[in-house]
Amino acid sequence: MITPPWSSKLILTLFACAAVGATDVGRAQIRSVTQQPYPTGGNSVAWIWNVPYVSGGGPQQQLDLYVPTEHKNEPLIVFVHGGGWEHGDKMGDSLNPNNLQLLWDGYAMASINYRLAAPAAVWPAQIQDCKAALRWLRAHAQQYGYDPNRIGVIGESAGGHLVAMLGATNGDKTFDVGENLNESSDVTCVVDLFGIADFTLPMPALATNVKALLGGPAQERPELARSASPINYVHASQPPMLVVHGTADRLVPYLQAEVLVEAMEKAGAPFYFHTVVGAATTRILASLSTPQRAILMRVGEVSACLKTGRSSR
């Protein structure tokens, strides 16, 4: 596989700690702009659909597994769909497990559903489901052949919010309820694609969605708004996080990424902030044949931290 020079440098800079145990490098806080994508290889994959991760939960508490047939004990990437907490599905839409290319790089993948805010599942049902899915995945790692100690998460928009919460609450059992409580819901690295970080900030385009998620406007549900905001959980020992956001995003304001990155910077948490100048959410997702596709391909570089085990905690 041909690898452009910029990607080699990025891997070495961002996740050298995972490869050689250098804590100071692993705490790197890096920013970049979009470059051209690079090609990926191919592997054989088995798909396992509609697996319940809680007893009697229904379709919104199921997951799909995509498991390489040529390798065992590979890292697992968990995809969390977007949709404003009111719609969306683990099979994806503009962004889905198939076009992430990680499947064809030898990783195992899971894609999870979670209870939606419409009609009645208010916060914190969504993060509780994500953590329940992670615990189930760890409990069944030997059965399906992936490594339970190397689990990364990726999500877009509402899914970006949820994966940021997963990373920021590593080591915190507050949202761990239900089954498989002997298993950890911690993750090894996070890819947050234009997610929400602070529900106390204005988001006019998402006002209806936020109201559904919190059971009312954020200003009338201040405790839930704070509870749902990843910036309130950021800590120095959380796993590395890639944050990707477009400066022209009218749905999820670019400010959301800025406040999350600022919080991680202050806490000393490891991150990589990738800004796409002039791009909105729809452009990032739809223009996969343009240089914006590099954003999604860079997930492969972030997941390089999984190749050698745990994050630099």
Quote the CA–CA distance of 169 and 113 in Å, as a whole number.
Answer: 20
Torsion of CA 203, 251, 296, 272, to 10 degrees: -30
Q: What is the pLDDT of residue 231?
A: 98
pLDDT value for 7: 30
Position 81 scores a pLDDT of 93
Which residue's structure tokens are 């250098």?
Answer: 22
Whole-number Å distance between alpha carbons of 304 and 299? 9
Instruction: State residue 41's pLDDT score.
Output: 40
- For residue 170, the model assigns a pLDDT of 97
Using alpha carbons only, give the angle 278, 273, 80 rounded to the nearest 5 degrees: 90
pTM of the shown model: 0.81
pLDDT (0 to 100) of residue 169: 98
pLDDT at 96: 59
Q: How far apart are CA 161 and CA 92, in angstroms?
A: 16
Which architecture does CATH list for 5-308? 3-Layer(aba) Sandwich (3.40)
pLDDT at 100: 55
Distance (Å) of CA 67 to CA 84, 236, 308: 28, 32, 19
Q: What is the residue extent of each domain of the chain?
A: 5-308
| pLDDT the model gives residue 119 | 74
How confident is the model over 235-264, as pLDDT tens digits?
999 999 989 888 989 899 999 999 999 999
| pLDDT score of 281 | 60
What stretches in the chain show pLDDT beneath 70? Answer: 1-43, 93-105, 279, 281-313
Residue in 134, 155, 164 with CA at minimum distance from that of residue 81: 155
